[in-house]
Amino acid sequence: MLAARMREYHKPLVIEDIKVPDILPDQVLVRVGGAGMCRSDVQLIDGYFAEALKTKFPITPGHEISGLVSAIGDRVPESAQLAVGDQVVVAAGWGDGICRQCRLGNEQICEHGSWPGFGPPGGYAEFVPVPYRQLIRVEQRLKWEELAPLTDAGVTPYRGIKKLRAAGVFGPDRVMGVFGASGLGSYAVQYAKLLSSGATVVVFARNDEKLAIAKERGADVTINTRGKSLNDIQGELFKLTGHRKLDAAIDCVGAEETIQAGIGLLATAGAFVSVGLVGTRINIPLFPFTASELTYHGSFWANYADLQEVLALAQKEKIQHSIKRIKFQDVNENLELLRAGDIIGRAVIVFDVDSDSPAPHK
């Protein structure tokens, strides 16, 4: 099979012809149909996760994976309801199954867990072995380019916004901010409209084309923040909504400036959730944060149940996508575009998968 593999940091991926992987008895071999391209793949190549992962080369990136069941291990139980040819997605948090967080269903934050594409082989390849417990069968078939991003870009902001809902900061008289309008932000604005109980949804970003898409996705108001101070942004927010503050906000960027702006715009007792990871540190004033009794949530990826819920929404056509289809051989070119922030929406490698012949080529 072909695989795009990382052999060292700060270098392009190498497309290689390697053996189709064997599977363990409790694994399923998935023939990849679509593999989403994420900014964290660029960060992986650039060494952002080097200290945390301490992984060995070569690495096959790609953690947004959808495909067809190609082979099933001998110890996969019938209760898994998996058959050769099924369309599936991969839930990316692979926990040890026995720690406290795994018992709660949050395998993506297991201290001893792993994630495909960050150690275990990922979806930048024609086939990938997956523990059967991490697969979700798709009842109503979807396009590969619409299915793969749901496993990260399309579910990470969903979990974050659920945390804001649980914090009780939504309602028809409230204002919610979405910072960032690219891959995650495009989905975040849709979940904000679905889950915020009628709140006014405002999207903040620096790219007019991305903001226009956010408007199409349901944003009530969009504000271009490029070159503007916090006072400028606050004044524009008041002009457009009649409110100077946000009751809730989700940051899909993770840059220090977007976090500072989001916290700076929060109303008393407001809540903020971070899902973006562009930067490395948080720097916010302590006294206003404490005196206003603000709440800051970290939110990492999503669990199996979150992904099931998002898939259900997708199969009911409740989710819209902004997708750029990528040919496998163009992976490095598009990683460079992703690094520069020049991709609108989500880039997805789409493989030529014949659903009538799901077995691996020998």
| pLDDT at site 92 | 86
d(CA 358, CA 362): 12
| pTM (global) more than 0.85 | yes
From the list 233, 216, 232, 231, the residue with the least C-alpha distance to 179 is 233
| Phi-psi domain of 256 (left: phi exceeds 0; alpha: psi -120 through 50; beta: other) | alpha
| pLDDT at site 335 | 97
Phi, psi of 267 (to 5 degrees): -75, 165
pLDDT in tens, the chain (362 residues): 999 999 999 999 999 999 999 999 999 999 999 999 999 999 999 999 988 887 889 999 999 999 999 999 999 999 999 999 999 999 988 999 999 999 999 999 999 999 999 999 999 999 999 999 999 999 989 999 999 999 999 999 999 999 999 999 999 999 999 999 988 999 999 999 999 999 999 999 999 999 999 999 999 999 999 999 999 999 999 999 999 999 999 999 999 999 999 999 999 999 999 999 988 889 999 999 999 999 999 999 999 999 999 999 999 999 999 999 999 999 999 999 999 988 988 999 999 865 443 444 33
| pLDDT at site 52 | 83
Domains detected in the chain: 2-153+303-350 (3.90.180.10), 156-298 (3.40.50.720)
| pLDDT at site 362 | 31
Neighbouring residues of 322: CB distance < 8 A, sequence distance ≥ 6 = 186, 213, 344, 345, 346
Which tokens is 360 given?
């691996």
